[in-house]
Amino acid sequence: MRLIMVRHGETYANQKHILDTEPPGSVLTETGWTQANNVVEKLVSYQPDSIWVSNATRTAQTATPLATRLGMEPLVREGLREIAAGSLEGLGDDASIGAFISVVKDWVSGKPETRMGGGVNGYETLQRFDNVVAEIEATGADNAVVFSHGAMLAYWVWMRGRGRVPAMRGVKLNNTDMTILEGSLTHGYEIRRWAHVVV
């Protein structure tokens, strides 16, 4: 199966650099809507057969232009939500952002037991996203488009994606950037694209 995973468009919380992880969350800005419309043609080229979104308003909004174009109903799954910030929710100071990033770094460095803001740990976060991917696989989809969130996608691809290349280092998913993987949870997922980096 091919997973075409897209970060949502720009939100008002993004503009203010605020940790906004609890659904329904912030909505798209005018720029965010433009981004959502502009990514449609690229996504259509992958011939999507299903569309999946988190339970955050911003992913549903970002998916709307594609869903309208294809006449599809996006499937909402809480497991695709952003990494829950816990006690850091709603904060935007450098220390809080740094603490959030530090925990994710712990998770990918072999310390998944670390809890984010006193809340979820890496095991729980990875498992709930895996559960949705397993559900998508079970539908028999060939090209599934998943609208999710920047930190969540970075964490999942780091843990489940194979074939990382040096050019990916330091490259983050900007709003409506995508990452593409092919494979399965059983046999592994090969990274084909990360933002502008083609693998």
CA 121/CA 107 separation, integer angstroms: 8
pLDDT in tens, the chain (199 residues): 999 999 999 999 999 999 999 999 999 999 999 999 999 999 999 999 999 999 999 999 999 999 999 999 999 999 999 999 999 999 999 999 999 999 999 999 999 999 999 999 999 999 999 999 999 999 999 999 999 999 999 999 999 999 989 999 889 999 999 999 999 999 999 999 999 999 9
Note the CATH number of domain 2-198. Answer: 3.40.50.1240
Give 24-82 as a DSSP string: S-PPB-HHHHHHHHHTHHHHHTT--SEEEE-SSHHHHHHHHHHHHHHT--PEE-GGGSP
169 is written with which tokens? 């280092």
DSSP state of 11: B
For residues 197 and 199, give the distance between their C-alpha atoms in angstroms, rounded to a whole number: 6
